Chains A and B, each alone.
Chain A
Amino acid sequence: MQLLRPESVEAAAAALGNGSVALAGGTDLVPMLRDRLVSAETLVELKEVVPRGVEGTRIGAGTTLAELEVDPEIPAALREACALAASPQLRSMGTIGGNLLQATRCWYWRLDFPCFLHGGSRCHAREGAHREHAIFGNERCASAHPSDPAAALLALGARVRTSRRELGLEELYRLPTEDDRNVTALEPGELILELDVPRPEASVYLKAMDRARWAFPLVGVAAARFADGVRLALAGVAPIPWRLDSETDLDRATPLPGTAYKVELARPLIRRALHSVT
């Protein structure tokens, strides 16, 4: 394994691909390298090339969660989602760009079962132990997306500027399909550089977890009110961050026997989030 330290976005983008992997805060990647869930010939350190800091509505992808959680310029939903994510050490290491791209905590995936998401033929969680798993979009893969900030940014209608294009956060994520098991639409060598986060009139992030702090969301609910209405997004309920139009969308959930409670849990959280922003 080798480490590259490019000095420009172009150099970094050029270095990525062919088995090389981008390294930012390292909080997800380093343990996965250790566990050999990711094998990389080459790591490309992004510290020097990805913007860091907040300017108006723009957030550099290299900004840490710790920086965001205390920044008064940041919409409440994102601030709260950052503050409720992980632990202080990880928030001071992890970047917002990396957070959006973190891998699922599905135990089958983390233990390298030959599951659908790893390119296999079936989802082990559907038949197996799945109390932390998905209630939407879970037909092929029942993993749950663990990012709190992703749900907040989705509710906020954030846009993403990459090294190649600009896209809505919704377009960044995709459910894994038979042909492509990725959960993001990033192309090889494409880097997230910046987020543009519209200012809502009000926003909030609520999170249910297994202990009071330092756990991934069972259900996280972000709500943001704009002039044209309220946007809702959920964490921990689908393989990707999940938009809902309203609470009644929960009726369309497809829970597994062990995740039915998440539907019940999401209802009051959505109601409270809506109440809080309206």
Chain B
Amino acid sequence: MDVVTSQTIGVEVNGTTYEREVEARRLLIHLLRDDLDLTGSHIGCDTGNCGACSVILDRTLVKSCMVLAIQADGASIETVEGLAGEEQLTPLQQAFSDHHALQCGYCTPGMLMSATALLRENPKPSDEEIAKAIQGNICRCTGYWNIFEAIKAASE
């Protein structure tokens, strides 16, 4: 049986492998933001309510403020920074930009990850499926319609 207080973990984030020594109580979102300097994923509530920290962990959409970093040992993680290549935006990111699917943009990385997870599973979602996919992501600025429209546009 492994006993872990602070351990060196290995995670693959956006295709790059990192090894970091982390305390057992450290949250995945803090590993990403503070240790790996991937600040695209945001902390909006740190109680699992807002979805701004959503990332894809081993192909599952999760809120990274509810995962201990050590739980992610050996996992493959995707964050907003990994969506596009060097320059271009993915069609989804481009649609967010084109449709004004963001105002302050603080929730956007989480929204993009939720929408990405949806479109991978279901490239042609219905309106209801789009709305359902981002039910766990709070946006306080836009009123959601443009986000919906952007995801719809990217799915077509």
Contacts and interface: CB of A to CB of B under 8 A. Distances in A.
The reply to whether A and B meet directly (CB within 8 Å) is yes
B68 A26 contact: yes
**For this complex, into which size category does the number of interface residues on chain B fall?**
20 to 34
Q: Which of B47, B66, B71 has most chain A Cβ within 10 Å? A: B66
Contacts of B23: 1
Interface string B40-63: 000000111001001000001111
Given A34-B46, A86-B136, A87-B135, A92 B67 contact: no
A4 B2 contact: yes
A148 B4 CA distance: 34
A185 interface: no
Contacts of B48: 27, 30-31, 89-90
Given A90-B48, A93-B60, A33 B67 contact: no
B124 to A, nearest CB: 17
B132 A5 contact: no
A223 B137 CA distance: 31
B24 interface: yes
B25 A33 contact: yes
B83 interface: no
Interface string B119-156: 00000000000001101110000000000000000000
B104 interface: no
B67 A43 contact: no
A26 B70 CA distance: 12
Q: Which of A1, A27, A89 has most chain B Cβ within 10 Å? A: A89
Contacts, number: 87
Contacts of A92: 60-62
B3 A4 contact: yes
Contacts of B132: 88
B80 to A, nearest CB: 15
A88 B4 contact: no
B114 interface: yes
Given A31-B66, A87-B136, A214-B135, A3 B47 contact: no
B68 A213 contact: no
Contact of A11 (B1, B46, B62): B1
A2 B5 contact: yes
A198 interface: no
A5 B67 CA distance: 15
Contacts of B67: 26, 30, 93
Given A4-B4, A15-B1, A87-B136, A34 B68 contact: no
Contact of B47 (A2, A31, A86): A31
A42 to B, nearest CB: 8
A45 B67 CA distance: 12
A210 to B, nearest CB: 13
A178 interface: no
Nearest to A31: B47
A45 B7 CA distance: 15
A27 B5 CA distance: 21
B136 A2 contact: no
B102 interface: no
Given A4-B1, A92-B61, 8 more contacts: A2-B24, A3-B24, A6-B1, A26-B67, A30-B48, A31-B48, A89-B48, A92-B60
13 contacts: A3-B4, A6-B1, A11-B1, A27-B48, A30-B48, A31-B47, A34-B46, A87-B51, A87-B135, A87-B136, A89-B48, A93-B62, A214-B135
Interface of B: 1-5, 7, 23-25, 27, 46-48, 51, 54, 60-63, 65-68, 70-71, 114, 132-133, 135-137
The 9 tightest CB contacts between A and B, nearest first, are A87-B136, A3-B4, A2-B5, A1-B24, A89-B63, A5-B2, A30-B66, A89-B136, A213-B135
